[in-house]
């Protein structure tokens, strides 16, 4: 185990992600369209905490149909390795989920930083 790493069952981490999604204002949650949120419990090498892949809502037009869902991936191992406490994991998961959902709504990294969700 890496010093400073928080150990947590995948099911508990998935619940944190679900809670973060539930904490998104209802009108935004209802506006999320054709997006799957997943937990990767292994994580790729590096420091990436989350990843949005897809076509933001602001870029979808008439051409957007019969398309595979966008994907938001939350990287469990990376988050747990960077946190010192379980409470810190909760806070980081919430921030990362909101950040990636922001990308789904077409908000870029610069604006997310300005809003405090960088």
Q: Report the CATH number that the domain containing residue 92 is assigned in CATH.
A: 3.30.2010.20
pLDDT number for residue 102: 92
pLDDT of residue 4: 63
Say if 76 falls within a structural domain.
Answer: yes
Supply the angle between the helices 10-22 and 86-104 in degrees, to the nearest 10.
50
45, β-bridge pairs = none
Name the E strands within 3-90.
35-40, 50-53, 70-75
Residue 29 lies in a domain: yes
Per-residue pLDDT in tens (0 to 9) along the chain, 118 residues: 445 688 999 999 999 999 999 998 888 888 888 899 999 998 899 999 999 999 887 877 777 777 788 999 999 999 999 999 999 999 999 999 999 999 998 888 898 888 877 6
* Domain span holding position 88: 10-47+70-114
- The answer to whether residue 5 sits within a structural domain is no
Number of independent structural domains in the chain: 1
20 to 3, 4, 29, 70, 90: CA distances (angstroms): 26, 23, 11, 18, 8
Which residues contact residue 70 at a Cβ distance below 8 angstroms, ignoring those fewer than 6 apart? 34, 35, 36, 52, 53, 54, 55, 104
pLDDT at position 59 is 78
* Inside any domain, residue 80: yes
Q: Is residue 93 part of a domain?
A: yes
Residue 57 lies in a domain: no
pTM for the whole thing? Answer: 0.87
């Amino acid at each position: 185990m890496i010093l400073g790493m928080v150990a947590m069952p995948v099911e508990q981490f998935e619940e944190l992600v679900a809670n973060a999604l539930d904490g998104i204002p209802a009108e935004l949650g209802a506006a999320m369209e054709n997006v799957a949120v997943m937990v990767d419990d292994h994580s790729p090498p590096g420091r990436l905490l989350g990843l949005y892949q897809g076509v933001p809502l602001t870029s979808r037009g008439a051409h957007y149909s019969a398309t595979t869902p966008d994907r938001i991936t939350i990287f469990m191992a990376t988050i747990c390795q960077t946190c010192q406490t379980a409470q810190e994991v909760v806070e980081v998961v919430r921030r990362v989920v909101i950040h990636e959902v922001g990308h789904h709504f077409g908000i870029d990294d610069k604006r997310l930083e300005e809003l405090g969700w960088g």
